Amino acid sequence: MTQVAQLERYLDAYTEFARETAGAPAWLRELRDTAFARFSSVGFPTLRDEDWRFTGLARLTRTPFRLARGSDNHFTVSDLVQWRMEGAAARLVFVDGRLEPQLSNWGTLPRGVTVNGLAKEIASQPDALPKHFGRYLDIQRDPFSALNTAFAEDGAYIHVARGVALEQPIHLLFITTSGPAPAMTHPRNLIVVENEGQATIIEDYVSHGDATPAFSNAVTELVAGENASVQHIMLEREHLQTFNFSTLRIEQARSANVASHSLLLGGSLVRNNVHPVLHGEGGECLINGLFIGSGRQHLDNYMLVEHASPHCASRQFYNGILDQQAHGVFHGRIVVHKDAQKTDAKQTNRNLLLDDNAQIDTKPQLEIYADDVKCTHGATIGQIEETALFYLRSRGIGEMEARRLLLEAFAGECIERMKPGAAREYTESIVFERLLSVANAGSYGKSSVVEERDRNWEEVG
Amino acid sequence: MSLLEIRNLHAEVDGHEILKGIDLTINPGEVHSIMGPNGSGKSTLAQVLSRREAYHVTQGEVLFNGKNLLEMKPEEAAREGVFLAFQYPVEIPGIGNAYFLRSALNAIRTHHGLDELDAMDFIPFYREKMQLLDMDERLMNRSVNEGFSGGEKKRNEILQMAVLEPKLAILDETDSGLDIDALRIVAQGVNAMRSPDRSMLVVTHYQRLLDYIVPDFVHVLVDGRIVRSGGKELALELEDKGYGWIENAPAAAGAVRA
């Protein structure tokens, strides 16, 4: 199918969407139109695009997705028990991109904390939103961000007022259901933590049913005011037919401290973009990630860290565990702008390949326009050490258990960078459960028979 | 019944034959020392007995407590009571010492039909053994061997042995890299574990260790064969005359044990 024919499907979807949402505020309609125009003019990226060198999109672009418009699936609160997080301050549940208020739980939020659905917020505060909404996301650079903005309608809106510290995390649960045909959703979140505010937000992407492919293309704009402290967790564990794309755009003011933790565990083709801009002096940013792939999963981690002010520090740590024919990508780009003197940027990517057929592409990319900076990067690729495995086994620990312990230790490096608390415990239990399945599946170097599908995400002409 | 019965053991690594017919019998409570020059096969013997997969047995048999040791995986041998104190203990970042050792102990206990120990029961027991080896308690929660000094690593091996209480402890060059103070502490830990139902196989290049851990029998290994066996005085003789004395002498017939 030609690129034009593929884009036509999106045009049809957009035309219908624009008609249905004609009542939206003018600024939003304009933003959507501009974004869709941008998407139509550039289309989906190809392997020739430097930012997409390792991730082909043929399977995504070939699949005829329709825009999910509300779900036929009727969930009850008891259906949600499997995704329940203990100790959350509030939980918003989105089914196929739409907020489900009756499934959500606002808990007892302290004064100064607003948690709402974005659609509701647009309806009730149409003029307040443009202050931040769409201001930071670069729809020129990334077609998926443009596509998200074109279809932006619902998602989470979180506002933490100046000086308010929210101790417990806010849980945002995004459930993709399996309908009769492939469907796409474009969740859009806006998180604003004002000066000296503090919050932890966890975005949790899960699937219900796995019969049809789904395409989730989420964007979160996170604004951290001066001295604000924000922890953001992205937990992706969808079923193995999904395409999960996400972008976290972080805007940091002076001395703001933001930690982003991305955990990619599920999905068929996954791309996670993290794009912080350190816009005030003295800002600190931790970009921490863990990706665990098996089967034929393709997990792509793309980071663009922009140092735009002096005296800021950024740390990127990504650990990957890849088994069978899984393919991981770590693409860490650091841009130090001209005036960002005394920048301290560090990037580390460590990978464990458990099978001869697993693959990792790791690519650091430093662009430095200031002259007094410290930037380091490093990447390692290894296997489970035979000596460590033998050491554990020589003490009586069984082989599977020994592997599990070693995998947990490797993944634990990432978990330990999270703040202790409810969100970390929740994340840890999910990661360990995933590792248990990897440890028990154990193809480990032996060539495994996996159902043959098109391995190469070949380019579509 | 003997605890360990090695008969005509041949083993190779990467296609090279290292052990060329070892016969050795160890009875419960006995301490045997294997001495020999570099490359004689001492460590290979230790690794084969602890069932490292890279070491292939090509001939012979090994019975441990009447069971075929060569059919066991490393963890099975460990659960049956074989313990190897490593020459080079492995650092394992991210796994805590206490957690690791409790997992190991519970795997062994489960194998013997005993209840698992929870942390509450395990920690006091572990702490007591640490004191025996004069170890800093703070090491308990650090990662396995990570950042330990050479002496701490060797003491940690003996600590693990003290907790796991094996039937056969194999000490592979436990003296290497230790100063005399550390050696005394390690030897004291080992000697405290000597008992009528625990045997030891002390592999060493130097006689020095045997001043502290006094063996009942000494065997000299040269080029994959035991060329001479004797009592503890054999070690002293070796110290005096060097390995050249044995290497140049004809192999002792049958390597008879006293």
Beta carbons of A387 and B90 less than 8 Å apart = yes
Distance CA A108, CA A372 (A): 48
Distance CA B11, CA B96 (A): 35
What residues are paired with A366 via a beta bridge?
A334
Domain range spanning residue A84?
A: 3-441
Q: For residue A427, report the phi and psi dihedrals to the nearest 5 degrees.
A: -60, -45
Distance CA B182, CA B190 (A): 12
CATH H superfamily, domain B4-255: P-loop containing nucleotide triphosphate hydrolases (3.40.50.300)
Beta carbons of A391 and B111 less than 8 Å apart = no
- Local structure of A406: helix, strand or coil: helix
The DSSP code for B116 is P
Tens-digit pLDDT profile for residues B159-212: 999 999 999 999 999 988 889 998 999 999 999 999 999 999 999 988 899 999
Q: Is residue A420 part of a domain?
A: yes
The DSSP code for A404 is H
Q: Does B114 contact chain A (CB < 8 Å)?
A: no
Q: Where are the domains of chain B?
A: 4-255
Query: Looking at residue B227, what is its pLDDT?
Result: 94
pLDDT band at B250 (very low <50, low <70, confident <90, very high): low
Query: Which residues in B lie closer than 8 A to residue A398 (C-beta atoms)?
Result: 75, 107
pLDDT band at B253 (very low <50, low <70, confident <90, very high): very low
Ramachandran bin of B94, using left for φ above 0, alpha for ψ from -120 to 50, beta for the remaining angles? left
For residue B134, the distance in angstroms to the closest alpha carbon of chain A comes to 22
The count of CB pairs under 8 A between chains A and B is: 77
For A346, residues 6+ apart whose C-beta sits below 8 A from its C-beta are A314, A315, A316, A375, A376, A377
Beta carbons of A406 and B160 less than 8 Å apart = no
> Is residue A240 within 8 Å of residue A295, measured between CB atoms?
yes
Distance CA B196, CA A187 (A): 71
Beta carbons of B94 and A387 less than 8 Å apart = no
Report how many domains make up chain A.
Answer: 1
Distance CA B234, CA B207 (A): 10
Signed CA dihedral, B84, B88, B94, B98: sign only: positive
pTM: 0.91
Find the mean pLDDT for residues B61-79. Answer: 97
Query: Looking at residue A89, what is its pLDDT?
Result: 96
Amino acid at A336: V
Q: What parts of chain A have a pLDDT lower than 70?
A: 1-3, 70-73, 442-461
Q: Is residue A452 part of a domain?
A: no
Q: Is residue A450 part of a domain?
A: no
Beta carbons of B93 and A409 less than 8 Å apart = yes
Query: Looking at residue A107, what is its pLDDT?
Result: 85
Percentage of chain A lying above the pLDDT 90 cut: 87
Q: Is residue A157 part of a domain?
A: yes
Q: Is residue A360 part of a domain?
A: yes
Choose from B47, B53, B103 for mutation: most chain A CBs within 10 A. Answer: B103
CA distances from A120 to A7, A100, A153, A154, A203 (A): 30, 11, 10, 8, 19
Beta carbons of B107 and A396 less than 8 Å apart = yes
Beta carbons of B107 and A412 less than 8 Å apart = no
Q: Where are the alpha helices (DSSP H) in A63-216?
A: 118-124, 143-150
Q: Does A413 contact chain B (CB < 8 Å)?
A: yes
From the centroid of its chain, how far is CA B250? 28
For residue A390, the distance in angstroms to the closest alpha carbon of chain B comes to 7
Query: Looking at residue A79, what is its pLDDT?
Result: 86
> Is residue A303 within 8 Å of residue A273, measured between CB atoms?
yes
Q: Does A18 contact chain B (CB < 8 Å)?
A: no
